[in-house]
Structure 1
């Protein structure tokens, strides 16, 4: 049927044939942490402005008095955030009423380990003592962020959070189902690979997660694999 000017195109969606496997990975990466006040909130740079959204909301809810936004650019983010991920996140937060003096920007990190290590150094340089951090990331980056923090910053108490969207709502917010699935598959692989390489602590990967990952790789969702 031809679309006329009054007909809206269907919103992008996860294909039905892979939905169950995508939902399995989506649930696995959510740490389901109970939010509690921390000394610092850390927003990890990415292509997802939702990190800045949740960081801003939790600041206004009083979960922390200081935000560190960390991130340079990657091939997947430079078009959307040309001045750097952390810089754009800061601009969003200030527009939403977060005082500029309550935000630190770390503009060099290009991976999760650097996000956390460089944030740690920045806080130490500012002589800001930190015993607890609330890390905000893409929904499917939570587990990797947690495991990485436990490796590179083991002395802090860490809580993880993401913008609270269901899978379909998240896909609509990004506008590209394949990109979301590719990133989910890539982050799942990194849980084991990065632990083996010493970048993160090991995490249990249940059989159903391994199976879902294998089927999605076989289906061609491989662009974010190492």
Structure 2
């Protein structure tokens, strides 16, 4: 359990990190690899709704997915999407990416190699990674329109799905830190962060929700 204040602060970060975009048809959907197979489910649903004629699943493995997805996040996403009725021939697998920058950069390179014309991308991620994915894509692929999407669920529903509220809050705090630090490192565009969001982040850090912070700036 966490305090009422910490829950409210985490909710504020959750609300900010979601972009609130309405999905619309794009040239390609890019499903960003992670531990969450819900990304594949949502990408498949968007495909069936006509939001993209082509899918790129991107992701290698990480310390959190090595055992769960031994063949790589993108490969497991592909298998899941096929189970959900997506034709195998509309899925491209990018198996090397190990961070969000890699996801965007390597997906772009793969599509360019295949001479796929891209004017817009539908970025599908975990809910609290929407803003990070968007900011990274706007920096690394500025000439295309970017639309962020994720599984439609509330903060409470996501906590219930993970079964570990402290872990979820730690992840939200880590994601928020990167939105501040990464523009300075040239990894993503800078975005205005409301004071109320910064205050919520600071309180959560002071309460010890710091396991996902970058160690060199924690």
* 1:217 corresponding residue in structure 2: 205
Q: Which residue matches 1:73? A: 61
Output the CA distance in 1 between the equivalents of 2:92 and 2:126: 20
Q: What is the deviation of 1:163?
A: 0.2
* Equivalent residue number for residue 33 of structure 2: 45
Q: CA RMSD in A?
A: 1.1
Q: For residues 204 and 79 of structure 1, do their structure 2 counterparts lie closer, same or farther at Cα, with a shift above 3 Å needed?
A: same
Instruction: Quote the Cα distance in structure 2 between the aligned partners of 1:16 and 1:74.
Output: 32
SS state of the match for residue 222, structure 1?
coil
Q: Tell me the equivalent position of 1:31.
A: 19
Q: Distance in 1 between matches of 2:100 and 2:188?
A: 10
The answer for the alignment partner of 1:60 in structure 2 is: 48
CA contact (8 A) 1:14 1:168 kept: no
- Aligned residue pairs total 214
Question: What secondary structure is seen at the aligned counterpart in 2 of 1:194?
Answer: helix
SS in structure 2 of the partner of residue 208 of structure 1: helix
Aligned twin of 1:9: none
Please tell me whether the aligned partners of residues 40 and 64 of structure 1 are also in contact (alpha carbons under 8 angstroms). yes
Shift of 1:52: 0.7
Which residue is equivalent to 2:71? 83
Match of residue 8 from structure 1:
none
Alignment of 1:1-226 (within 5 A): 15-226=3-214
CA drift at 1:15: 4.8
* In 1: Cα distance, 2:191 partner to 2:6 partner: 24
Q: Distance in 2 between matches of 1:220 and 1:76?
A: 21
Counterpart CA distance in 2 for 1:15 and 1:46 is: 28
Taking the aligned partners of 2:64 and 2:213, their CA distance within structure 1 comes to: 14
Structure 1 residue ranges without an equivalent (≥5): 1-12
Structure 1 residue 175, shift from structure 2 partner:
2.1
Answer yes or no: is the 8 Å Cα contact 1:48–1:174 preserved in 2.
no
Which 4+ residue blocks in structure 1 deviate beyond 4 angstroms? none
Answer with 16-25 or 144-153: which moved more: 16-25
Aligned mates of 2:192, 2:75 — CA distance in 1: 35
